[in-house]
Amino acid sequence: MRRFSVKFAETYFKNHPRIKSLTDKDIDQINIDDVKSFYRERFKDGSDFTFTFVGDFKIDEFKGLIEKYLGSLPNITRKEKYVDDGVRAERELVKFEVYENLEDQSTHYKAYVHGFKNNVKNRFKVYLTQNLMKRMLHEEIREKQNLVYSISVQDYGITKIPEEKYTLIINFDCDPKNKDKIFAEIDKVLEKIKKGDFPQNYLDDAIKGLVTSYLINRESNRWLVGAISGYYEDKEPLQMINAIDVIVKSINKNDIKRFANETFKDKFIQASLMPKK
């Protein structure tokens, strides 16, 4: 299974050397002194760092601690900049099979990669579509037809750099002889989503679930630190943090239809781990 996952990752990233899977030989070549030197050089000063603090504290008292522990750090006024090493996701049609499974069952991935404007509303279109896919694929292929042992949908990364993109991956385990039929049934479900051919309450339930999760998470310090840091790094308005529920509720069936039609086209990665011959 690991070799299959590695091949999928390599295919997804077009065999770029920056994402190669580490081997024992690679690890043996690591020089611990080089690692220590790199660490010490980067963290010897506090320039070009942004510190985010969340919690129950008094500003005046906290300022003293910041001045003492952060203000005293050396500052060599260095400026960091992002280096684009050219890692990109595959967006053409690629299919492959690996015959290495020791069990008489198969595992399959179908991945859709697409560029988009990475903002709050569009990110939640991804999450809502993912939720709909999970529900409809499970109902149609697992419950009604009993063709799979399991089926799920993952987002394989929503990124801003080096490219604004999202990836949705359908993965399932099944009897090898049902592979082609299941892929065909998946296509039928995706066509339904593209046409808006699903009950409105499916979308309502998905929206309600995301809003409930947001309202719970925003009460935690960990979530707030991540949100504030993320919005700062991505140069998005911090006010958005308090408007996510309103944004999610504004997404309608036509939004999902348009999003699905942009996403589920004839370019995807299809990978299968089949029983060893």
**What is the DSSP secondary-structure string of 192-261?**
HHHHT-S-HHHHHHHHHHHHHHHHHHTTSHHHHHHHHHHHHHTT--GGGGGTHHHHHHT--HHHHHHHHH
Same domain for 225 and 147: yes
Q: Answer whether residue 84 is part of any domain.
A: no
43: pLDDT confidence band, cut at 50, 70 and 90? confident
What is the percent of the chain with per-residue pLDDT over 70, rounded to a whole number? 100
| Residue 118 vs residues 111, 148, 157, 222: alpha-carbon distances, Å | 19, 33, 12, 22
Mean pLDDT of 31-43: 92
Same domain for 182 and 225: yes
Q: Which residue range forms the structural domain that includes residue 243?
A: 94-275
Say if CB 112 and CB 268 are below 8 A apart: yes
Same domain for 173 and 260: yes
Q: Answer whether residue 260 is part of any domain.
A: yes
Q: Does 162 sit behind a cis peptide bond, omega within 30 degrees of 0 on the bond before it?
A: yes
Q: Indicate the SS3 state at residue 81.
A: coil
Q: Answer whether residue 5 is part of any domain.
A: no
Same domain for 146 and 262: yes
Say if CB 108 and CB 159 are below 8 A apart: no
1: pLDDT confidence band, cut at 50, 70 and 90? confident
Q: 174-212, pLDDT tens digit by residue?
A: 999 999 999 999 999 999 999 999 999 999 999 999 999
Same domain for 53 and 120: no
Least confident of 102-116, 210-224, 225-239, 249-263: 225-239
Supply the pLDDT for residue 72: 83
Mean pLDDT of 245-262: 97
Same domain for 62 and 109: no
Number of domains in the chain: 2
- Residue 23 in this model has a pLDDT that exceeds 90: no
Same domain for 138 and 190: yes
Q: Answer whether residue 245 is part of any domain.
A: yes
Same domain for 226 and 152: yes
Average pLDDT taken over every residue of the chain:
93
Q: What is the pTM of this model?
A: 0.90
Answer with the one of 31, 53, 69 that is the final residue of a domain: 69
Same domain for 102 and 61: no
Q: Answer whether residue 48 is part of any domain.
A: yes
Cα–Cα distance for residue pair 89/165, rounded to 1 Å: 9
Residue 47 has, within 13 A of its CA and on its CB side, a CA count of 12
Same domain for 46 and 120: no
Tokens of 80: 């960091």
Q: Which residue has the higher pLDDT, 143 or 236?
A: 143
Same domain for 233 and 200: yes
Residue 275 has, within 13 A of its CA and on its CB side, a CA count of 9
Same domain for 174 and 52: no
- Residue 2 in this model has a pLDDT that exceeds 90: no
Supply the pLDDT for residue 213: 95
- Residue 129 in this model has a pLDDT that exceeds 90: yes
Query: Strand 269-275 vs strand 148-159: parallel, antiparallel, or unpaired?
Result: unpaired
